Structures are given as structure tokens and as C-alpha cells.
Amino acid sequence: MTSNGYYSAENKEKSKLLNASLTKEGLEYAERNLLSDDSHLYLDKAFIEENFNLDGKKVLDFGCGMGSMALWLRKKYKCEIRGIDIDRNHLLIANLLKVKHNLPDVAFNYKNVLVEPLTSTYDFIYLNDVAEHIPLSELQPILNHLAKQLNVGGVIFVSYPPWEGPFASHLNVIFQIPWAQYWPKFILNPLLEKRNRTLVGEKDLKSEFQNLNHLNHRKFKNILEKAGLRIVKRKSHSKLNHILGLKNVNFNIFPFHYLVTKELVVLEPNY
């Protein structure tokens, strides 16, 4: 496998070390996501609890970030879990968090699968808020590789905010206004320049936004076909699901797809 994009070998260079302030910010953020039922991870947690029992399973958290979900899975289930990422700053926070919560058997490692493919196999592979950050040309070979690392009966669970949705821009942290990705560039770009900030990871807010791949369900389906995967379950979470009686309804057709905050998709290989 070779690559020249986001998952390229260039990312193996060591990132700048986090200062004390960013380390504290990252650890507090990750711990809140681990412990709170009100964080942005609540949909993933609820979906996993409703659809899977991971006791005794071998789990891979691909793009584990600061480790919140991997550690939550280990606390929730008696599973063997490994988290991999290409952001060393995120991995630093993840390892601090696992020590704080005394979960030494959770492994967090740097791993670029397009340069150094996986050798182990897994029952459950999880990608949370990762797919939208990977160039579309690299997402297909990555998913194809992950599919080959599944044990018989294993699945891949992917969750991501679709590009049409209100929070796809990842800019709500500074603008507090939905659908910022549709703002005219002559308005958005000066605001990004003015309010840009260093993130806990290896990027700043502006570059993170500019590197988003505009992933939506149509693009994702095309990628899955090439990757040898098929959808076995899909939940399109919408703001309309908060209305009484509509919790389990998928509002994923025009124009309601503009209200979808997160796609949650379970995948199996095409055997």
C-alpha cells in the first residue's frame, strides 16, 4: 500500500509536543467524552449498546483520537481492545487517560495502515468521526484493508457527520451556527483567519476544516462498493428524532437529509 495524502508517510514525522495548557484541555475533553452521557459520543454509545455485545471480542478503534471510546468500550465490555491513530498528540492524551482510569490493558499505538498494514484480525472495527477526515481516494483502500482484517462474522461500524448536515463543518465550536460549510467563502475565510486556533491534535481549526472530504452517504456507498463492503444496518440520526414517536425514523431523503447530524452504518464484507 502506498499513499501521498493525509495518511502518507510524511505523517510519521514527530509532531510538536503539546504545551501544558493544551494537554490539560485535551485530557479534560477526552475524560468528559469518556464519562458523560451528554457528550457528542452519546449516539455511538447508545447504538453500540442497542446492537452489539462485545464481551470476549477483539476490537480495533481505528482513528482512536484521544481514546475516549476505546476506554469506554473496555469499561463497558470484557473485550480486548486496541486503538490506533496517526496523530501523536491525540495518542499522548489517550495514554494519559488510560493511566488515570487504570485501564493498562488498552493499547494505543501510532499506526498508518497505508504504510504498515495490520497483521492482526478483529471481530469489531470502529471508526468514529474519522471517515470524513480521510481523502476519498484513501478511504477506499483503507476500508478494503480493514475488511480483510475481520474475523468470520466480524463487522465494521462507521459513524460520521454527513456533509449536508448542520454540524459537518466541525466549526460549531467557534461559530455556534449550523451549516457553516455553506457560507460564502468571502465571509467564511476571513472569519476562519480571525478566529483560527491551535487544536489539541496536530492541526489548527482552519486546516482541519479545509481537509474535510465532504463525505455523504452517496459518496460513501460508492466507496464501499469498491472496498468490497456492504451495509447491513444504517441509522441516519436527525434532529427530528427528538420529536415524540419519531426516535427510530430515518429522515435521510431530500430535503430532510440536511437535518441529519450523524450517519451510523454497520458494514460486512461481500463474501
What is the percent of the chain where pLDDT is above 70?
Answer: 94
Task: Report, as an integer, the average pLDDT of 60-71.
Answer: 98
Task: Report, as an integer, the average pLDDT of 63-75.
Answer: 98
Identify the bridge partners of residue 110 per DSSP, sorted by sequence position.
85
The predicted pLDDT at position 162 comes to: 97
pLDDT band of residue 16 (cuts 50, 70, 90) is low
pLDDT of residue 1 exceeding 80:
no
Domain residue limits, the chain: 9-167+215-269
> What is the rounded distance in angstroms from the CA atom of residue 270 to the CA atom of residue 267?
9
Residue 203 grid cell = 492541526
CATH fold of 9-167+215-269: Rossmann fold (3.40.50)
Residue 250 grid cell = 430515518
Select the more confidently predicted residue: 80 or 7.
80
Task: Report, as an integer, the average pLDDT of 39-67.
Answer: 96
Model confidence, pTM: 0.92
**Per-residue model confidence as pLDDT tens digits over 89-118:** 999 999 999 999 999 999 999 999 999 999
**Per-residue model confidence as pLDDT tens digits over 141-196:** 999 999 999 999 999 999 999 999 999 999 987 788 899 999 999 999 999 999 99
**Per-residue model confidence as pLDDT tens digits over 122-131:** 999 999 999 9
pLDDT of residue 3 exceeding 80:
no
